[in-house]
């Protein structure tokens, strides 16, 4: 079969449609979404951090790690962050409140 401009156009259109469907919203199971969104809401409440100290072969070792969420910096309500996050991931409202 000879490949004409028409065939190439159809092939490109088919690939584009496939790529667009692969980039569509990926739904997450509700329980998984609520768990993930609880962590995001916790970061909206306050920054998280950890400090580590130890001794290695080269002497003392210290580590320090801080995570600050953009929702915290923007002053967003953690409950609203949780609800909107679940809706974005599942298309549904959470069935459990943030505090549970």
What contacts 66, CB < 8 A, 6 or more positions away? Answer: 47, 48, 49
Cβ atoms of 31 and 83 closer than 8 Å: no
pLDDT of residue 27: 84
In angstroms, the first-to-last Cα distance of the chain is: 63
Here the tokens at position 33 are 């979404």
H/E stretch holding 41: helix 30-45
Give me the pLDDT at residue 24, please.
54
pLDDT at res. 52: 93
pTM of the predicted model over 0.85: no
pLDDT in tens for each of the 100 residues of the chain?
454 555 454 444 444 444 444 555 568 899 999 999 999 999 999 988 999 999 989 999 999 899 999 999 999 999 999 999 999 999 999 999 998 6
């Amino acid at each position: 079969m000879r490949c004409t401009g028409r065939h190439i156009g159809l092939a490109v259109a088919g690939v584009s449609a496939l790529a667009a469907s692969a980039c569509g919203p990926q739904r997450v199971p509700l329980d998984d979404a609520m768990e993930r969104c609880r962590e995001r809401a916790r970061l909206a409440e306050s920054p998280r951090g950890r400090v580590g100290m130890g001794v290695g072969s080269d002497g003392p070792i210290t580590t320090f790690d801080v995570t600050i969420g953009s929702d915290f910096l923007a002053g967003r309500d953690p409950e609203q962050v949780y609800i909107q996050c679940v809706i974005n991931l599942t298309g549904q409202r959470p069935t459990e409140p943030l505090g549970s």
